């Protein structure tokens, strides 16, 4: 069971004051939330690495959480930031299969989760850029394979990935 927003915010506020048991619970709950968050946008064998990366970022940047604001949009901003960074670094020529279920569409989708989801970011990109990023950076196809699949030239695939990632990094805090 994933804890609700108010509980997570309370746990985070306690963690900032040095409450270790609260922090332990928070990290476990945040880890489960992140698993769901990334499930559709990261191959399963890379999911745990990314979740751990975000948890470490949460740990190092825990002072930047503002206790007067909700917790999940803060965590989601960090998650999106690390995710874009992750896409830039990895996946080339790696294969992996995404799980079919959409974390937020399959589960009970509340307003906060919908506003902070990764899907929201792709809405702002042209279809050709989304396609290139999904095939090469998420599904792990080579540039050549993606080119054959999409009908785009190899250089266009590269350009679309570059432009798409640049745009994604500018949209990290966007909610609508």
Partner 1 sequence: MTRDRDSIIAAMTEELTPVRGFRYGDGVILVSFALFLSVLGVAYVNGLWSGIVKVEAAPFFWITNGLLLLLGLASASAAIAAASPYVGNRHDAPRWATAMVGVLPLAALISLLPDGHGMAIVEDPVGIHCFTHALATSSFTGAALILWLRRGAPVSLNLAGWHAGLAAGALGAVAYGLSCPLNAVTHLGVWHVLPVALAAVIGRLAVPRLVSW
Give me the residues that bind partner 1 (CB under 8 A), please. Answer: 13, 15-18, 20, 23-24, 27-28, 31-32, 48, 51-52, 55-57, 59-67, 69, 73-74, 76-78, 80-81, 115-116, 169-170, 172-175
Cβ neighbours of 109 (radius 10 Å)? 13
For the CB of residue 145, give the shortest distance to partner 1 in the complex, in Å.
30
Residue 173 Cβ vs partner 1, minimum distance, rounded to whole Å: 4
* Count of CA atoms in the C-beta half-sphere (13 A) of 143: 10
Token output for 118:
């990764």
By C-beta, is 76 or 87 nearer to partner 1?
76
**Least distance to partner 1, CB of residue 32, Å:** 7
Beta carbon nearer to partner 1, 130 or 171 = 171
Cβ 176 vs Cβ 115: under 8 Å: yes
Cβ distance to partner 1 smaller for residue 82 or 150: 82
Count of positions (residues) in the chain: 176
Please state, in angstroms and rounded to a whole number, the distance separating the CA atoms of residues 57 and 38.
16
Q: For the CB of residue 92, give the shortest distance to partner 1 in the complex, in Å.
A: 22
Looking up tokens 């937020």, which residue turns up?
104
Q: How many CB atoms lie within 10 A of CB 107?
A: 12
């Amino acid at each position: 069971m994933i804890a609700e927003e108010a509980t997570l915010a309370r746990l985070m506020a306690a963690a900032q004051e040095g409450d270790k048991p609260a922090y332990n619970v928070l990290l476990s709950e945040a880890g489960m939330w992140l698993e769901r968050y990334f499930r559709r946008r990261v191959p399963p064998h890379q999911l745990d690495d990314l979740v751990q990366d975000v948890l470490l970022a949460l740990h190092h940047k825990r002072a930047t959480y503002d206790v007067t604001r909700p917790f999940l949009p803060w965590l989601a901003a960090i998650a999106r930031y690390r995710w874009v960074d992750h896409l830039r670094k990895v996946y080339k020529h790696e294969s992996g299969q995404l799980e079919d279920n959409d974390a937020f569409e399959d589960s009970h989708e509340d307003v906060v989760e919908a506003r902070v989801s990764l899907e929201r970011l792709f809405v702002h990109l042209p279809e050709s850029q989304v396609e290139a990023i999904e095939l090469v950076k998420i599904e792990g196809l080579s540039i050549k394979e993606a080119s054959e699949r999409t009908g785009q030239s190899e250089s266009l695939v590269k350009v679309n990935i570059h432009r798409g990632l640049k745009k994604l990094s500018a949209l990290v805090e966007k909610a609508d």
